[in-house]
Structure 1
Amino acid sequence: MAKVSADQLGSEPIGKLLVKQAVPASIGILVMSLNVLVDSIFVGNWIGSIAIAAINVVLPVSFFIGALGMAIGIGGSSIISRALGASNKEKALKTFGNQITLTLLITISMVIMGLYFVDSLIPAFGGKGAIFEPAKIYYVIVLYGVPLLALCMMGNTVIRAEGKPKFAMIAMIIPSVGNLLMDYIFIFVLDWGMHGAAWATTIGYFLCFAYVAYFFLSQNSELKLNGSHFGLDRPILREIGSLGFVTLSRQAVVSIIYLLMNNILFGLGGEAMVAVYAIIGRMLMFALFPVFGVTQGFLPIAGYNYGAQKYDRVKKTIYTAIKYASILATVVFVGLMIFPAEIAGLFLSNRPDLSEMELATNAFVLEHTPNAMRWVFAATPIIALQLIGAAYFQAIGKAVPALLLTLLRQGFFFIPLILVLPGFLGELGVWISFPIADILATIVTGLYLRKEVRSTLDRA
């Protein structure tokens, strides 16, 4: 694999560079999303639809702790990209060392708290009734591996900030393939049930960590640390925190949404309705992988060129990223509108030994999921502008607008909508909250981004 220099972020043609950055990111996200998707299909077919609902209850807790690593990674990687663009390698090294120390301190503390409050957290996130016991089994085992996940997510963003997207892609592929292989062995062959699903996920985290550690210890990385780089530096921590808080806030809002959605839907239709949302949640992770890939590819290019004061390249990066992501989002939209019933059917078992409860749950899920999916993804073609617009401010180190725009869709619009509309429209009120929030957030982000480009980049 050819080595890529960070300097190329400031010299290659934008279109070619964005493809070079976005394609590996998209492939990595695709494989990770496929992992979650196929993992859910395996669990649904080999364990049952209640097991899918149980995993959906656990995800916001484990993902939030893992997202601490991503927040530290993205916050620090913005500093690293700009530092490399400004030829300040020592600051890049000190930032990376602080990222590692901070990730370990915070995530291990969170895991201890998560295990201590296990019996109250699971019901709070919708793990009630028949969902509680399988959710607890999955939660406890997976939580042990979450610090490794956090280190992987942090390290992956740093690899991309160095201008080495192919290595970042491999780091995302390895745990996904490992998890699916372990799923087959532990669930299908050994019949370990939820224990097998949980251990497969945790082993996937370990494999990812092993590869990321190999990358930074080998000659592939330009960031070679020594002991002095791990000592916490207050100014760097403040900058990591202010920028990483954007990502952390977004994931915190996602966790709150899972909590609200699981409880609201449980009240509307019990465990089966939670299973409907679990399937849609998997598709939200999977279907938009190319848009998220373009967004991930956009970040280091925009950050590097902003740090190098190449503002024309920054503008071109914004417009090119929005164009590419919008085209891909439209393709995704068409597929989801045509095949929602077929997608829902993939997650449901047709084994002859299903109980009456499982058969009733499957029938409910198959009836309700297609219409819900169409509503949830109704505004997909326009969301690229909102995602790229929010990512731009994070890439250039403007934490406050990045935070506000990142929280716009899910925090400021979606949460109030799902608290109000279901009271008037029932189940439909839940699902139409998605496109309404998407449209409102995209309008606001577009106006704000246009103002920023005119006042900052056009006048530079």
Structure 2
Amino acid sequence: MNIKRLLWKYFLPAFTGVVVNALYNIVDRIFIGRGVDALALSGLSAVFPLMLIIFAFGMLVAIGANVRISINMGKKDYKRAEWVLGNAVTLGIIISALLTLFGYIYRYPLLKMFGAGQGALPYALEYFEYILFANVFATIGFILNNACRAEGNPKIAMYSLFISAGTNTILDPIFIFGFDMGVKGAAIATIISQFILCIWVVAHFYSKRSVLKLHLANLKLNGQIIYYILTIGFAPFSMQLAASAVQAVLNTQLIRYGGELAVGAMGIINSVAQLLVMSIIAINMASQPIIGFNFGAKQYARVRDTLITCIWAATSIAIGGFLLTQLFPGAIVRIFNNDNPELFELGRKGLRIFTLFFPIVGFQIITGNYYQSIGKAGIAAFLSLLRQVIILIPMLYILPPFTQLEGVWFANPISDLLAGIISALFLVKALKKLKGGTEKFN
């Protein structure tokens, strides 16, 4: 199929799916911000980096398995693709169970470390304790939902997230307002929706609609397959861990220079940034099976066409997001909380600064995904860590002593700019290698 048509076929359900999936946290923040209070919003912001850690382990398995599934399907080795799928499920169950146990034992120090102040801590604890016990369902649902795309069923993946996030959106106001359950109600709504997602995708891989099947024999772990999954999945895993580390540093610096309400404002900014970045990640999700399949089939010209098309699309989304946050920051912040003027001003100003260089973020994310999709895990991990750790964390400590709270906000756009320059060098190298479609990759 024509590359643009093929990308559109995969992008539309992926975009719809990730936007709907992003609504999990965004809807929770909107209802908690309006139905409880600003400190509850700060508490949820402290839970957010811990949720990123849990999500990182899901990505470690899901993305690593997807790349291997796509490459094996490109080689027509469907038996091995099913073996990868089964091992991914077992690995996901083991990792998520261990994370749940660890998180529950150390929940108090973890939440304090990630920025939960005295006023926000009770809200953070209440939400986090409930979310932990849905971790296994959330992880398996995420792994198998991504596998739907890898096997060539992107619409099934989209429907899965529609059902799950739709359930969460409906139940949130019922539990928070109708049953007056506050933060606990938001957490319970999320648990129910994640359980439904898990059941739905497991059923898919036992149905006639699936290309690959879940076999009990394939659930037995194989050392080589686990190694392949983990090495490829390390790049998105490190990126998510980096996001969590950055969020922890951000929260502590925000409390130091702006107080607990600044953490709440960061929660609003994160919701908006997450929605924008996830839109670009949808392009990655659409391109990954196409790049992986064609790379496995040695169709390098099609890989190059896919990469170039994705860069244009991602840059367009990034520019659109930049314009929205620069022109309408106040209207965006009011969606989350409209009765606290201090929170409004912090969020409005922070959002504008935070997204200052967002137009150059799109091609950075696409470049990292390209190297990940062709199995170059080391380069992919470096490019992912560059923007979120190697440059950003030092900036969060260097700038604030001179410019106070504004320094915390400005650390992100400076990191975007410097990482963009370095990513561009890797992108040029990749395009040169792919030019002509005949170069061998070792």
TM range (shorter): over 0.9
In the alignment, is residue 59 of structure 1 matched against residue 59 of structure 2? no
Match of 2:188 in 1: 199
Q: CA deviation at 1:240?
A: 0.6
Give the alignment partner of residue 281 of structure 1, picking from 270, 281, 289.
270
**CA distance, structure 2, for counterparts of residue 52 and residue 75 of structure 1:** 33
Match of 1:144 in 2: 133
In the alignment, is residue 24 of structure 1 matched against residue 2 of structure 2? no
Alignment of 1:303-314 (within 5 A): 303-314=292-303
**CA distance, structure 2, for counterparts of residue 446 and residue 349 of structure 1:** 40
Give the alignment partner of residue 378 of structure 2, picking from 385, 390, 400.
400
- Relative to the length of structure 2, the TM-score reads 0.96
Q: Deviations over 1:327-369 (max 9, x none)?
A: 122112111111101111121154xxxxxxxxxxx22111121
Match of 1:374 in 2: 352
Match of 1:343 in 2: 332
Alignment of 1:43-54 (within 5 A): 43-54=32-43
SS at match of 1:214: helix
**CA distance, structure 2, for counterparts of residue 332 and residue 449 of structure 1:** 23
Give the AA of the match of 1:136: L
**CA distance, structure 1, for counterparts of residue 350 and residue 338 of structure 2:** 20
In the alignment, is residue 330 of structure 1 matched against residue 308 of structure 2? no
**CA distance, structure 2, for counterparts of residue 201 and residue 70 of structure 1:** 19
Give the alignment partner of residue 449 of structure 1, picking from 419, 422, 427.
427
Q: Deviations over 1:376-402 (max 9, x none)?
A: 111111111101100001111111111
Q: Deviations over 1:30-63 (max 9, x none)?
A: 1122342232111111111111111111122133
In the alignment, is residue 172 of structure 1 matched against residue 161 of structure 2? yes
Q: State whether residues 21 and 161 of structure 2, in contact with CA within 8 Å, keep that contact through their aligned partners in structure 1.
A: yes
Q: State whether residues 100 and 151 of structure 1, in contact with CA within 8 Å, keep that contact through their aligned partners in structure 2.
A: yes
Q: CA deviation at 1:225?
A: 2.9
SS at match of 2:76: coil
In the alignment, is residue 419 of structure 1 matched against residue 406 of structure 2? no
Match of 1:435 in 2: 413
Q: CA deviation at 1:423?
A: 1.6
Alignment of 1:76-95 (within 5 A): 76-95=65-84
Give the AA of the match of 1:390: G
Q: Which runs of 5+ in 2 are unaligned?
A: none
Q: State whether residues 317 and 362 of structure 2, in contact with CA within 8 Å, keep that contact through their aligned partners in structure 1.
A: no
Match of 1:105 in 2: 94
**CA distance, structure 1, for counterparts of residue 214 and residue 9 of structure 2:** 27
Match of 1:4 in 2: none
Q: Deviations over 1:299-350 (max 9, x none)?
A: 1111111011000000000000101111122112111111101111121154
Match of 1:320 in 2: 309
Q: CA deviation at 1:457?
A: 5.2
> Quick one: percent identity of the two aligned structures?
32
SS at match of 1:182: helix
**CA distance, structure 2, for counterparts of residue 266 and residue 175 of structure 1:** 34
Match of 1:42 in 2: 31
Q: State whether residues 75 and 243 of structure 1, in contact with CA within 8 Å, keep that contact through their aligned partners in structure 2.
A: yes
Match of 2:343 in 1: 365
SS at match of 2:429: helix
Alignment of 1:214-233 (within 5 A): 214-233=203-222
Give the AA of the match of 1:376: F
**CA distance, structure 1, for counterparts of residue 396 and residue 132 of structure 2:** 29
Give the AA of the match of 2:412: F
Q: State whether residues 55 and 240 of structure 2, in contact with CA within 8 Å, keep that contact through their aligned partners in structure 1.
A: no
Q: State whether residues 303 and 434 of structure 2, in contact with CA within 8 Å, keep that contact through their aligned partners in structure 1.
A: no
- Relative to the length of structure 1, the TM-score reads 0.93
Q: CA deviation at 1:182?
A: 1.1
Match of 1:302 in 2: 291
Q: State whether residues 87 and 218 of structure 2, in contact with CA within 8 Å, keep that contact through their aligned partners in structure 1.
A: yes
Q: CA deviation at 1:232?
A: 1.0
Q: State whether residues 276 and 365 of structure 1, in contact with CA within 8 Å, keep that contact through their aligned partners in structure 2.
A: yes
CA separation of 1:378 and 1:349: change in aligned 2, threshold 3 A: closer
**CA distance, structure 1, for counterparts of residue 24 and residue 86 of structure 2:** 30
Q: State whether residues 58 and 135 of structure 1, in contact with CA within 8 Å, keep that contact through their aligned partners in structure 2.
A: yes
